[in-house]
């Protein structure tokens, strides 16, 4: 069990010959979620050997092109591949009009139902709620309406202590109720407390995506205690004034949010093309928050209770 995050694009503004703009694939409880969809996202999905059919939810943080210009192309590809399963797209109010206008202009349609859910950029909002997980959005502070996204696992059922159950002669038909947390009573009226019959489940994991935003302490309140926080870090400290002017963050400011929120790990991204050496972001952030990674495209960050395992899911063009 765990959360697997694949970085498809980690650059800001424009794609280059060896960098793609923002897009991420999160795998949680056997479900696949696409977060933002910059140019070239579907190419990166192919390079990471992702099955397109497993993506049923797409989350768009805001309507700057480096975060959604790959969306219409991906939706068209879904159609060409014969997709029939419904797809839900979460994003700002005008996203639906942008997508449908392009399809109408081309005289095309999709072979599958598309549902659009409008995100609120001023207040937190629950977007998806199931027995296995919940997904919500939260406000960010950028030049246009922008939201972050919070992905949280739900607690699993307790695990049966088979040896203890056998010792007390508990029939198999009662296992379900015991896993739900109930005590068990024998025929002679003896009550056996649940904690003697089960093991605690693992703590649910969580991931927060803080897209384009200037530093604001409000962000820490929305992502308190998550296992992994992705926070944009477009600039290093040498361009701190530029970060403020464009309503972006520096690596140090991202690390400050991570520290204030008491998260376990921080992932940086959305790098300006001004910087060839991504290690600079990591070095500056570590002065404030030590558990930090500079996102690398086509790396998978596997979030476990024991920490994070990083591995490449495909060869990169920008081997450094």
The CA–CA distances, whole Å, from 83 to 23, 117, 302 equal 21, 20, 28
Nearest C-alpha neighbor of 299 from the set 255, 254, 267, 263: 267
Report how far residue 139's alpha carbon sits from residue 239's, in angstroms, rounded to the nearest whole number.
Answer: 24
In the residue annotation, 66 being an active-site residue is answered as: yes
What's phi and psi for 153, nearest 5 deg? -70, 150
Kindly tell me the sign of the dihedral angle through the C-alpha atoms of 180, 185, 186, 191. Answer: positive
Nearest C-alpha neighbor of 206 from the set 133, 293, 295, 311: 133
CB 79 within 8 Å of CB 112 = yes
CB-based burial of residue 71 (10 Å sphere; 0-12 exposed, 13-18 middle, 19+ buried)? Answer: buried
Report how far residue 255's alpha carbon sits from residue 252's, in angstroms, rounded to the nearest whole number.
Answer: 5
Report how far residue 63's alpha carbon sits from residue 95's, in angstroms, rounded to the nearest whole number.
Answer: 7
Catalytic residue among 66, 200, 218, 238: 66
Residues recognised as catalytic = 66
């Amino acid at each position: 069990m765990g959360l697997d995050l694949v970085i498809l694009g980690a650059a800001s503004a424009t794609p280059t010959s060896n960098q793609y703009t923002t897009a991420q694939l999160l795998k949680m409880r056997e479900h696949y979620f696409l977060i933002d969809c910059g140019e070239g996202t579907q190419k990166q999905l192919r390079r990471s050997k992702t099955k397109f059919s497993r993506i049923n939810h797409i989350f768009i943080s805001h309507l700057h092109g480096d975060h959604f210009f790959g969306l219409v192309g991906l939706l068209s590809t879904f159609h060409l591949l014969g997709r029939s399963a419904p797809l839900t797209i979460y994003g700002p109010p005008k996203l639906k009009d942008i997508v449908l206008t392009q399809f109408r202009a081309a005289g095309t349609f999709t072979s599958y139902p598309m549902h659009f859910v409008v995100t609120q950029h001023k207040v937190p909002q629950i977007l998806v709620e199931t027995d296995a997980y919940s997904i919500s959005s939260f406000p960010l502070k950028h030049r246009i309406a922008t939201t972050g996204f919070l992905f949280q696992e739900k607690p699993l059922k307790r695990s049966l202590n088979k040896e203890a159950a056998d010792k007390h002669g508990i029939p198999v038909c009662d296992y379900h109720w015991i896993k739900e947390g109930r005590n068990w009573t024998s025929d002679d009226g003896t009550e056996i407390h649940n904690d003697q019959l089960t093991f605690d489940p693992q703590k649910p994991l969580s991931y927060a995506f803080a897209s384009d935003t200037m530093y604001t302490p409000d962000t820490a309140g929305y992502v308190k205690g998550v296992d992994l926080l992705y926070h944009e870090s477009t600039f290093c400290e040498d361009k701190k004034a530029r970060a403020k002017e464009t309503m972006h963050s520096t690596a140090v400011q991202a690390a400050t949010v991570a520290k204030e929120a008491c998260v376990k790990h921080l992932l940086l991204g959305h790098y300006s093309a001004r910087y060839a050496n991504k290690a600079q972001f990591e070095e500056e952030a570590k002065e404030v928050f030590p558990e930090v990674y500079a996102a690398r495209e086509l790396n998978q960050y596997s979030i476990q209770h024991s920490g994070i395992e990083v591995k490449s899911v495909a060869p990169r063009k920008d081997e450094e």
